[in-house]
A and B are shown apart, each in its own frame.
Chain A
Amino acid sequence: MTIVCPTPVAAIDRVQLGHGSGGKMSAALLRERFLPAFRNDILAQLGDAAIIDVAGQSLAISTDTFVVQPLEFPGGNIGSLAVHGTVNDLGMMGADPRWLSAGFVLEEGLPLEVLDRVVHAMAAAAQEAGVLLVTGDTKVVERGKADGIFINTTGVGVRYADFAPAPPRAQPGDAVIVSGLIGQHGIAIMSAREGLTFESEVMSDSAALTPLVRALRQRVGDGVHTLRDPTRGGLASALNEIAVAAGVGIMLEETMVPVPAPVSAACEMLGFDPLYVANEGVLVAFIAESCADDAVKALRAHPLGRAATQIGRCVREHPGLVALHTGVGGTRVVDMLPGDQLPRIC
């Protein structure tokens, strides 16, 4: 039978915003356009950071570019985000972050006092995270070409011999544990966007997760199989990536996922699913079953991890797929979104 349809498949010949949202389009862009050009074993790992060996010392390198709008939002600004993001990518590979570089693209016309606030926030975040900003670069582009400020940070961290969490290491039986309340960063950003503005007390959770990583390393050690910070695309996207990388299934319990009431309320209003909303101060950990309780205790001992809780487990069934037991007793698949989550009226 031939399917004839009023809608031919739209040929995408240009970059779209969805390519940057951390969902399926982003993954496709990476797979189809970037990876074929830069083939090597280190890149092929596709972890949050690359692991390299320099004279017997294992190091992690990670890079991230920050283009957030608005530049300043409840709970932070693009500067603090730029430090936390890269510091956390290093942490997710088990490394202690030590040094950062920062590249700035500034838009002509940006008020210098905004730049000052961004730079001061970066400095404060770096100091708190125990990292040194050791080199940088600045460029200025014409008005209209850079949305205020774009920042790229690249970080280097030092790894420990016996601590090597990585996405492919997740295995059936592992506890899936989240370190805190989810959905805060994405909603804080949304509340300040033109056309959607609403008042809420939600602040971005942007923070360096280094102390939590350290706590897990010291308490659980090699029982920590995988760590990931669920940023763009939210918890759902991060879990999908790990399920595919490790070839495991994941089963979540809806009632265990900790969503704070204001995030829940904002999501109801916009028609968003909190599982897909970005976080900048939360990690998800895949921990060997026998160490799960210790892991939760270790996280809860730190202010950033007070709300840590197990939300599910890895299973042998449906490898590569994330599923959820719903509050009312049904089951559903938690898929990766194609692109950005769109506010809906339906």
Chain B
Amino acid sequence: MCLGIPGRIVEIHDTQGLPMGVVDFGGVRREVCLAYVKDEIQPGDYAIVHVGFAISKVDEAEAKRTFEVLREMSQLDELKWMEGLAT
């Protein structure tokens, strides 16, 4: 129910007291409200954006760790999958 996609904070500014920023989503850029992440983020960080608001900072360390676990599992399983294909 919540289309939230990750984007990279390119620039931060203040619009009449409201923290706003320009976020880059893989080449597409949009103004996003940063009020809910303002103490955590700086340009270069990634955030999850929902309806024009950053709702969380992407925890890159956690993301990397999980992904490595998944990748490892897939390498072990790749062999089994290939065996399965051969039969």
- Does residue A294 face the partner (Cβ distance < 8 Å to B)? no
13 A-B pairs in the complex with CB atoms less than 8 angstroms apart: A191-B28, A200-B29, A202-B28, A262-B28, A264-B26, A266-B28, A268-B26, A269-B5, A269-B28, A269-B30, A344-B3, A345-B2, A346-B2
Cβ A268 vs Cβ B5 within 8 A = yes
* A261 CB contacts on chain B under 8 angstroms: 26-27
Nearest-neighbor residue (CB-CB) of A343 within chain B:
B3
Interface size range on A against B: 10 to 19
Q: How far is the CB of A199 from chain B (nearest CB, A)?
A: 4
CB A75 to nearest CB in B, in angstroms, measures: 16
The CA of A271 and the CA of B27, in the complex, are separated in Å by 16
**Interface flags, B50-87, vs A, CB<8A=1, else 0:** 11000000000000000000000000000000000000
* A345 and B25 contacting across the interface, CB-CB below 8 Å: no
Interface residues of A in 265-283 (CB under 8 A from B): 265-266, 268-269, 271
Q: Is B18 an interface residue (CB 8 A)?
A: no
Docked pose: A261 CA to B28 CA in angstroms: 9
Binary B-proximity of A282-317 (CB < 8 A = 1, otherwise 0): 000000000000000000000000000000000000
Q: Which of B5, B25, B28, B29 has the most CB of A within 10 A?
A: B28
Q: Which residues of A contact B1 (CB under 8 A)?
A: 345-346
A164-215 residues at the B interface, CB under 8 angstroms: 191, 197-202
On whether the beta carbons of B3 and A198 are closer than 8 Å, the reply is no
User: Are the CB atoms of B27 and A345 closer together than 8 Å?
Assistant: no
CB atoms of B25 and A269 under 8 A apart? yes
* Distance of B58 from chain A, by nearest CB (Å): 15
How near does chain A come to B31, taking the closest CB pair, in angstroms? Answer: 9
The number of residue pairs between A and B whose CB atoms lie closer than 8 Å in the complex comes to 42
Q: Known: A345-B50, A345-B51. Contact between A200 and B5, CB under 8 A?
A: no
9 closest cross-chain pairs (CB), A and B? A265-B26, A262-B27, A199-B29, A198-B30, A200-B28, A265-B28, A346-B1, A266-B28, A265-B25
Identify B28's interface contact among A199, A344, A345, CB under 8 A.
A199
| Complex contacts, A200 vs chain B, CB 8 Å | 27-29
Residues of A within 8 A of B51 (CB): 345
Contact assessment for A268 and B2 in the assembled complex, using a CB-CB cutoff below 8 Å = no
Q: How far is the CA of A346 from the CA of B30 in the complex (A)?
A: 19
A345 to B1, CA, bound (A): 7
Chain B positions 19-65 with a Cβ under 8 Å from a chain A Cβ: 25-30, 50-51
**Interchain CB contact (< 8 A) of A201 among B25, B27, B30, B50:** B27
Chain A residues with Cβ below 8 Å from B5 are 268-269
Docked Cα-Cα span, A264 to B5, in Å, equals 12
- The CA-CA distance from A276 to B50 in the complex, in Å, is 23
A254 to B12, CA, bound (A): 37
Return chain B residues, CB-CB under 8 Å to A271.
Answer: 3
Q: Which residues of A contact B2 (CB under 8 A)?
A: 345-346
B44 shortest CB reach to chain A, Å: 18
A197 contacts which chain B residues (CB < 8 A)? 30
Alpha-carbon gap, A285 to B3, bound state (A): 34
- In the bound assembly, the distance between CA atoms of A269 and B5 in angstroms comes to 7
CB pair A265 B30 closer than 8 Å:
no
Given contacts A198-B28, A345-B2, list 11 more A-B pairs with CB under 8 A.
A197-B30, A198-B29, A199-B29, A199-B30, A201-B27, A262-B26, A262-B27, A265-B27, A266-B28, A269-B25, A345-B51
